């Protein structure tokens, strides 16, 4: 991981590019994040930094969290997250990371907690099919129906779809374009949608995808059976 920052989802809007095309973007309030802890190869076996984001009242933290932040000399923070950043060896506790670590044109991955939708049935949760509504179907059209066997295996295997808590899961959206960066307002606009409600905490990092530039050079074939080689 080279670059990363903690942020908060502000909402969605649209902006226009130089050609006048509409680009749907999600605005993220990214940082400023403070380095709370630094891990080194000599002590922990690897190099990383722990970032803190969003000030919070001290009474809302536990005693271990208060002691951890007090030792670092940092004001109480709501969110703590560890990242293996590029150049972590040169960072020190108390350093700030702002939105300008990213620039326009960067490819990023955004990690967040999806919007919770409460208890949901199999149709809404898993896109299951309804039972027939005629010939005595009864008031069970949206039920899961029979799913277990009799003697063998006499149970339902783990992972079988069913009703339950929908949403509120960690979701990662890969390979989004950074459309605009405002260091003064600590705002990053990424193309497309990201998980979570407005105000939800998200983690922005450079993408793990390998974006290769396609070779656009036209080459001449050496195969005599092809027209490009004959003429």
N- to C-terminal Cα separation, the chain: 50
Domain 4-116+170-230: CATH architecture, name and number where available: Beta Barrel (2.40)
pLDDT at 7: 92
Is the Cβ–Cβ distance between 193 and 173 less than 8 Å? yes
pLDDT at 231: 58
pLDDT at 203: 94
pLDDT at 230: 60
Cα gap 51→59, rounded to integer Å: 20
pLDDT at 87: 80
- State which residues of the chain have pLDDT below 70: 1, 215-220, 227-231
> E strands, 86-206, where?
96-97, 107-113, 119-120, 164-165, 170-182, 187-191, 201-206
Reported as half-sphere exposure (CB side, CA atoms, 13 A), residue 87 has a value of 8
pLDDT at 173: 94
Quote the pTM value: 0.80
pLDDT at 204: 93
Domain range list for the chain: 4-116+170-230, 117-166
């Amino acid at each position: 991981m080279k670059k990363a920052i903690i942020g908060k989802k502000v909402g969605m809007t649209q902006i226009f590019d130089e050609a006048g095309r509409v680009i749907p973007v999600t605005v993220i309030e990214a940082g400023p994040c403070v380095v709370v802890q630094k891990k080194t190869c000599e002590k922990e076996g690897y190099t990383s930094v722990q970032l803190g984001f969003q000030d919070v009242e001290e009474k809302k933290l536990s005693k271990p969290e208060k002691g951890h932040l007090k030792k670092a000399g940092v004001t109480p923070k709501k969110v703590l997250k560890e990242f293996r950043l590029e150049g972590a060896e040169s960072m020190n506790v108390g350093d700030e990371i702002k939105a300008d670590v990213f620039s326009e044109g960067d490819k990023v991955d955004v990690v967040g907690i999806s919007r919770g939708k409460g208890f949901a049935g199999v149709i809404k949760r898993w896109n299951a099919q309804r039972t027939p509504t005629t010939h005595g179907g009864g008031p069970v059209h949206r039920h899961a129906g029979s799913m277990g066997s009799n003697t063998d295996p006499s149970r339902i295997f783990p992972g079988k779809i069913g009703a339950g808590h929908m949403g509120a899961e960690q979701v990662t959206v890969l390979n989004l374009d950074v459309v605009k960066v405002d260091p003064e307002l600590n705002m990053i606009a990424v193309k497309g949608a990201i998980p979570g409600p407005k105000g939800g905490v998200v983690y922005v990092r450079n993408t793990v995808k390998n974006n290769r530039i396609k070779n656009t050079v036209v080459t001449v074939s050496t195969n005599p059976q092809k027209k490009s080689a004959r003429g």
